Amino acid sequence: MLVVGLDESGSFEGKGSAVKIIAGFVYYEKEGQTSSHEEESLSFVSEKLRIEQFLIKQCELLNISYPKGIHAMEIVDKYKKSKLKEALKQYIKKNGNYHFTLMIKGRSSKKGYEGFSNLVDEKEASNLYEHMLLSLLNNILFYNPKFQSEEQVVLELATRSIPVPNSDVENLLKYKRLGYSSVLDKKGNTIFYLTDQRSFKTSLLTKMVEDNIKRNIIFDINVQSINYYKTAKDMNRDTTPWLYIADLCCDIIRDYLSPGVDDFNLEKLFDKAVNITGNEPLLWAYDDMDDCWGRMYESFVKEDYIGCIKALYEAESLDSDFKAFYRNHWFDNIQKQADILFNIDDILNYVDKVKDIISKDTVYSEQNEKDINFGLYLGERIFEKVIHEFKSEVNDKLIYKLSDLLLMGYNHAGNINKARYFYECCRELRGKVEPEDFCGTLLSAAQLYANQFQFDEAIQIIERDRLFVEKLKQDKKILRDLYGDEIAAATEQNVEFRYELLGKVYSSLGQFYSFKKDKDTAMNYFEKALEEFEKPSYNRELTISFILHLAMDWKDKTLYEKYVEEYLDFKEINEQLDFILERQDAFKLLVFLKSINIFKEEIDKKIIEKLNTNKLESEFSQINIHPWELIFKHLSIFFFDHGEPDKAKDFYNSIKLEMANSKDNITVSVIGLIAQCCISSFYIKDEDELEKKVNEVKEILAYENSIKEIFKDAYNCLNINEAAERLQKNLSYLYV
């Protein structure tokens, strides 16, 4: 049997108190203490009587009336309240069946509940209180590995009401729209009643139906006000011992929270709770981290391995004050069990899932970028499981395929070390796959060299690849014409035979020759690449973006205008920006910003307004990955050029990536720091700041000898201004 008693503390409407909690106890009789529903019911009644007898005795010892004096102590005699709480701690410890429980409001709002319907927006009416209370109940009952076998659940919940002055017309309307029952009091307020038995029944029913929770739980739902005998009418009501205990437990829990600490020191509360009750407490936070926990536990119950890993990845990616606490007390235990869900018989499906995520031939979007990062996380976990536990059971071709996907993905992320590792894995297995497959891998290998600024080596690899792939195209065309489907041959006979792999080879060569400042050779390859790609297609769009960057590198406006409309959908720049923001395409935004800075387009106030910091942060959810270091650079330059130095400096300071100063993302870190050097030397003109940034670049370069060699003239230069100038000269094209 499970008894849940809850109360609240704090102001949930408005800014009020810093600490907002729903807290109380879970009374859980361990297996073997009762053997039937009848015994459980008797045990419940017995414990309720024991609690009441305990409270009556303590009130006698403290010389206060029961139960009225329990509430009055809060105002009249806090010393007696403290003595009562100490006595309750001893009772709970001796009993051995109690767990403290808590849901605390995090310092920031949940992302999913802001600015939507008044049913869900936590700033509307008393939604925050209701969300927190229901979240805690759901966690205790459905997202809690400790009590999943319980069949009898008693809910002892305190009602809550809120007075709204009748003069506050706007707030009154918010509550009335949501259908709360209400009465008028004599003080000029409308009292709204927030919770009742029906609302809890409906919420729990909806949860069980929507999540397909098929457990035979017998609920006993008791929702009432805590009866402290405040009025003569109350004297005719039953006492509410479970709720008195919930109120006291809520107080005890609040006493151990630390408002000045980011996570309110939940770890300290956890230890104190174990010491008081003898049992681990059930502590959660009303925070995005808790949503990740719910998704992970739900996936675990459904034996969904990939769902578990995705929720874990989302949790690790979150910037949350509660990350460490959730990892230590919730995620780690389930993660260990989730590894058991890995089924080697599903390895083909796992690898196909990674492929679907990493090799999306779709236009860029913020969501796709997040998905790719998850794909890498998932792919590497699968790779480690296969290599260390199931290598003898998995085909080498499949290991090659997974390694190739991870090479491609880590190239995209700018993680040189991991890309290099998976390239070596592919090289070891190249004899196990078709030559055409290894040609695709060589494209990724060339990009690996490019990420190390070694463009000659990248070109050398691709030039060898090009000859082979051109021959492959010829052979494939002959085979199609000779043995292909008759209808397909008849319809395609007069259509140029396209070969996407060759298009990728040409596009890569165009990109690398662009870095080498060989415009004619680059354009020759880009134009050949476009002939191989269908229109529209992801690879065609990517190649056009390379051409636009080349045009900007050479300040060739004619070339830029020839292709920009296909890439940004419009000629007029206001429409281009609206299109970019609607698509949430950071790479298109970079092209747009570079172009208005380089070609000095006339800009109206609407564009300037759309480019301020808050607007962009609301349009794009992920602004801490490539190419945002360059977007912020060009935004900073834009606002310096348009006479708004304060805004420009804000964007300069925004060139801070999670991967900055990291061995794992050297390419992007170098690009971002040199972007800051550029702005610092040309616009801010702060010698100390410039010296700081130059030294940060040198520190990053020291991690990777191959890159340090490319930048050696700058790395070895002791003159700060000259070193900054040399650093900037080493970057061009896509990296500026």
Q: Exposure of 362 by Cβ count < 10 A (0-12 exposed, 13-18 middle, 19+ buried)?
A: exposed
Position with higher pLDDT, 464 vs 264: 264
Give the pLDDT confidence score for residue 444 in this predicted structure.
Answer: 92
pLDDT at 349 over 70: yes
CB atoms within 10 A of CB 367: 11
Per residue in 464-520, pLDDT tens? 888 888 888 888 777 766 666 543 444 444 445 688 999 999 999 999 999 999 999
Torsion of CA 688, 689, 692, 697, to 10 degrees: -140
CATH, domain 2-160+195-286, list 1.10.238.10, 3.30.930.10, 3.30.420.10, 3.40.190.10: 3.30.420.10
Residue 680: DSSP 8-state: I
Q: Is 669 helix (H, G, I), strand (E, B) or coil?
A: helix
Q: Is 532 helix (H, G, I), strand (E, B) or coil?
A: helix
User: Mean pLDDT highest for which of 174-183, 218-227, 545-554?
Assistant: 545-554
Show me where the domains of the chain are located.
2-160+195-286, 534-602, 622-736
CA within 13 Å, CB half, 658: 12
Task: Identify whether the C-beta of residue 414 lies closer than 8 Å to the C-beta of residue 668.
Answer: yes
pLDDT above 90: percentage of residues in the chain: 59
- The average pLDDT across 550-554 equals 97
Q: What residues pair up with 7 in beta bridges, in sequence order?
A: 23
What are the tokens at 316?
A: 């690790």
User: CA-to-CA distance for 393 and 395, rounded, in angstroms?
Assistant: 7
pLDDT at 665 over 70: yes
Starting at the edge strand that comes first in sequence, how are the strands of the sheet with 161-165 ordered?
A: 161-165, 189-193, 181-184
DSSP string, 432-477: GS-HHHHHHHHHHHHHHHHHTT-HHHHHHHHHHHHHHHHHHHHHHH
Task: Identify whether the C-beta of residue 732 lies closer than 8 Å to the C-beta of residue 515.
Answer: yes
Per residue in 679-732, pLDDT tens? 998 898 889 999 999 999 999 898 888 899 999 999 999 999 999 999 999 999
pLDDT above 70: percentage of residues in the chain: 91
Give the pLDDT confidence score for residue 659 in this predicted structure.
Answer: 44
- The average pLDDT across 61-70 equals 90
Q: CA angle, 497 as apex, 495 and 499 as ends, to 5°?
A: 145
- The average pLDDT across 648-675 equals 77
User: CA-to-CA distance for 353 and 378, rounded, in angstroms?
Assistant: 9
The residue type found at 365 is S
Give the pLDDT confidence score for residue 614 in this predicted structure.
Answer: 61
Position with higher pLDDT, 602 vs 568: 568
pLDDT at 274 over 50: yes
Task: Identify whether the C-beta of residue 338 lies closer than 8 Å to the C-beta of residue 346.
Answer: no
Per residue in 185-228, pLDDT tens? 888 899 998 888 888 899 999 999 998 888 888 999 999 999 98
Task: Identify whether the C-beta of residue 121 lies closer than 8 Å to the C-beta of residue 109.
Answer: no
Residue 496: what are its φ and ψ, rounded to 5°?
Answer: -55, 135
The residue type found at 80 is K
Task: Identify whether the C-beta of residue 586 lies closer than 8 Å to the C-beta of residue 631.
Answer: yes
Per residue in 71-94, pLDDT tens? 766 556 778 889 999 999 999 999
Give the pLDDT confidence score for residue 662 in this predicted structure.
Answer: 54
Per residue in 138-167, pLDDT tens? 999 999 988 877 778 999 999 888 899 999
Where do we find the tokens 């805590």? 226
